[in-house]
Chains A and B, each alone.
Chain A
Amino acid sequence: MTKKIYLDYAATTPVDPRVKKAMEPYFTEKFGNTMSLHSFGQEAKVVLEESREVVADLINAKPSEIIFTGSATESNNLAIKGIALANKHKGKHIIISSIEHPCVLESSQWLKTQGFNITKAGVDKYGRVDPENIAKTIREDTILVSIIHASNEIGTIQPIEKIGKICKEKRVLFHTDAAQSFGKIPINVNKMNIDLLTASSHKMYGPKGAALLFIRDGVKIEPILHGGGQESGLRSSTINVPAIIGFAKACEIAQKEMGKEGERLTKLRNKLIKQVLKIKGSHLNGPPSHKSTDGQSHPTKRLPNNANFRFDFIEGESMVIQLDLKGIAASTGSACSSIKLEPSHVLLAIGLKPEQAHGSLRISLGKWTTEKEINYLLKVLPKIVKQLRSISPFGK
């Protein structure tokens, strides 16, 4: 097989050619700065606001509630730190889950040094946060609850609507990091009682360098970047018009195609899971895709494109490299494994032992994943697992 197979859509996605086409004029012809008074600037300002409408529409928000940023990391930083700083007179307690993305974990960690208290809500073996537990954890001085919508590693979709309802009743602000779910499954910020939501363009076939933070009207938040006052003063920076145009186009496409594509991927993913679990000593991490004996399962509780496995006695890193050498791009349970040594905090949070967490493999599917590609993976993977198991540790 000469063509490479990309099965790491959760890390980033290729840009949809339709998105690329929509962006093209905004580099050399319509390159204006939205803050300029002249026609170039006006043109940029118009398309920026049109983009805001398209993007807002995907989550049933008002355009005025959308702030464009440069990345999901930036949006999460703005949400967590911005809410904390604007509401510290009301209280200094924040609740997050134990399976958040590092940018939420680290932002909270930083807030600790500023005198805030952070509670990490645990998850069950499928990675689910219990809304009742959140209700119990909310205190008098709780100002914010931030729970990731869908796990980037194991695909678990949280009961966001329930958690949102609890927060609403208790008058606590609710933020969700929807970087993985946005554009893949329907989101309605009103129905789901969400006050702040993070989403990113490059996870849904838009370009890198564009993301958003939805901030419900009336929610007080402090900016982190100060300057020219763009984005209602909440995110000073020259507007990255081409990236935002691309982001909006990706949203427009997702609006139309999300439903069918979700069904297609779910089917393909379920086949993958079914076949991989036939390998001896293999396990699925995260929620089951089919009905399991304990009745916990529901297909809507896992992202349609995510599968995460572990194989007894095997390191994920070796598997990923072996697959790469065969032209298949996948990922270990923990992203950035070359930088970080620690086993994935998400896999540890669902109760895996460190050695089990090191043995995991994340396969994330996307728009251009074909059945043929999945078949090739299914042909290659069992051999790699077998080979890796056949090697006893050397020289010990």
Chain B
Amino acid sequence: MFKSNNKKACPEDIRLSSVEALSRRVIIAMSGGVDSSVAAALLKRAGFDVVGVHMKFWSEGKKSGNKCCTPESEKRARQVAKKLSIPFYVFNFEKEFKKRIVDYFLKTEKQGKTPNPCVICNKEIKFGLLLEKALKLNADFIATGHYARSQLSGAEWKLLKGKDKNKDQSYFLWQLNQKQLKHILFPVGNYTKTEVRKLAKKFKLPTANTQESQEVCFINTEIHPVKSGRAGVPLKAGQFNRVNYFLRKYLKTKPGDIVDTRGKILGKHQGLWFYTIGQRKGIGIAAENPYYVLRKDIKKNELIITQNKKDLLQKELVVKSVNWISGVKPKLPIKVNTKIRYRSPSASAIVRQSGNKIKVIFKKPQRAITPGQSVVFYAGGELLGGGIIPN
């Protein structure tokens, strides 16, 4: 069987072998993708009583479905389950997903913020509803194909970054708690993506060559196929324009003024939700030097832009809805490494109590801190917790 390059026993292996695998039931969430398929195979190899489950989520329009759960991906998940000789069931979470994830996404966008639906989905659906279901099925654990690791330290479950630094998905898991972690296994957390692909080949899984899914899963790429910018529907930084088509469909337009930092009207926008902080392209104001989205004034429905990149820098922020993985607030202040969005580089900071608020003070000012996004705290490879950036 496959040998990891890492000679030392790794936390994940310890986890898998420390629990009496035999006759312990684990429900593996199988999207049909390579990560969860390999996770299922690893669990099976470790001797667990593995039960495969495919979750159906809400999607816009019925035909091609949510990207995480198209009929095609369900079929692949089913094939993998068959290959591994494990039972396989489909759970329909469409209604709950619409209510708890899509509606949250739209509500947050309407407030002019840029939400992380995956964070909420992990908390509410994968490690919420699915865990509930799993326990009803007499399972001891649920497992997913996330690139993250968990480790028992004393009586406390620690959440660690995945071995693959580039694929690490712990950012999306900051809302988990001890009660959940106790029941969670991350079988691929101790492998790199390359290793996982190799394992898929080795196990002869029918998913080995599937593509990555990265966009917002419930936005139908067939309904909104446009990738490039179009007048009045600007691109969001790092996202395809179809997000804005989706937003326009559900939130409509709400035109307002585009102003500079001194309040001078420079043009019109079609709705604050079509923009995100730090965005440069697609603002639609012609000038010698480029403009950046600096702020959104919800009350006045104004988009504030600047030509001075330095305006986007911020030294500190107040963080809301804070969660500590340990379940206990550590003694503050505490020195941490932060991430202000999934793909942003790690930044050193101090988390400090300030009255009844919790503040994050960065060592170096951060660019385009975006309300609605998650800021998460690490100590080395350990995810301590995180919070949401308010307006």
Contacts and interface: CB of A to CB of B under 8 A. Distances in A.
Interface in B66-114: 87, 89-92, 94-95
Contact of B136 (A324, A338, A388): A388
Contacts of A322: 136-138
Interface string B45-64: 00000010000100000000
B274 to A, nearest CB: 32
A340 B94 CA distance: 10
21 contacts: A315-B136, A317-B91, A318-B133, A321-B89, A324-B87, A325-B87, A325-B138, A337-B92, A338-B90, A338-B92, A339-B92, A340-B92, A341-B94, A341-B95, A387-B138, A393-B132, A394-B128, A395-B127, A395-B132, A395-B179, A395-B180
B95 to A, nearest CB: 6
B128 A395 contact: yes
Given A337-B92, A338-B92, A395-B128, A325 B137 contact: yes
B41 interface: no
Contacts of B95: 341
Interface string A310-352: 0000010110011011000000000001111100000000000
A318 B135 CA distance: 10
B92 A341 contact: yes
Given A341-B92, A387-B138, A394 B87 contact: no
B131 interface: yes
A193 B327 CA distance: 71
Interface in A288-325: 315, 317-318, 321-322, 324-325
Ordered nearest first, which 10 A-B pairs have the shortest CB separation? A338-B90, A318-B136, A394-B132, A391-B135, A341-B92, A395-B128, A321-B89, A321-B137, A388-B136, A394-B131
A394 B135 contact: yes
Contacts of A387: 138
Size band of the A side of the interface?
10 to 19
A394 to B, nearest CB: 4
Contacts of B56: 338
Interface string A16-54: 000000000000000000000000000000000000000
Interface in A149-203: none
A318 B137 contact: yes
A280 B355 CA distance: 54
B74 to A, nearest CB: 9
A341 B127 CA distance: 21
Given A337-B92, A391-B136, A395-B180, A325 B131 contact: no
Interface of A: 315, 317-318, 321-322, 324-325, 337-341, 387-388, 391, 393-395
Interface of B: 51, 56, 87, 89-92, 94-95, 127-128, 131-133, 135-138, 177, 179-180
A381 B307 CA distance: 69
Contacts of A388: 136
Contacts of B87: 324-325
Contacts, number: 45
A324 B138 CA distance: 13
Contacts of B90: 338
Contacts of A318: 133, 136-137
Nearest to B134: A394
Nearest to A314: B136
A270 to B, nearest CB: 30
B272 to A, nearest CB: 33
A324 B87 CA distance: 9
Nearest to B127: A395
Contacts of B177: 395
Most A C-beta atoms less than 10 A away, residue of B95, B137, B179: B137
A83 to B, nearest CB: 31
A5 B137 CA distance: 19
Contacts of A325: 51, 87, 137-138
Nearest to A318: B136
Given A321-B137, A341-B92, A391-B136, 20 more contacts: A318-B136, A322-B137, A322-B138, A324-B87, A324-B89, A325-B87, A325-B137, A325-B138, A337-B92, A338-B56, A338-B89, A338-B91, A339-B92, A340-B92, A387-B138, A388-B136, A394-B128, A394-B132, A395-B132, A395-B177
B81 to A, nearest CB: 13
A338 B91 CA distance: 6
A51 B245 CA distance: 59
A359 B125 CA distance: 21
Contacts of B137: 318, 321-322, 325
Contacts of A394: 128, 131-132, 135, 179
Contacts of A391: 132, 135-136
A337 B91 CA distance: 9
A51 B90 CA distance: 40
Nearest to B27: A321
Contacts of B128: 394-395
B370 to A, nearest CB: 28
A393 B180 CA distance: 13
Nearest to A342: B95
Nearest to B96: A341
Contacts of A339: 92
A339 B92 CA distance: 7
Contacts of B180: 395
A325 to B, nearest CB: 6
A328 to B, nearest CB: 13
Nearest to B123: A395
B260 to A, nearest CB: 46
Contacts of A315: 136
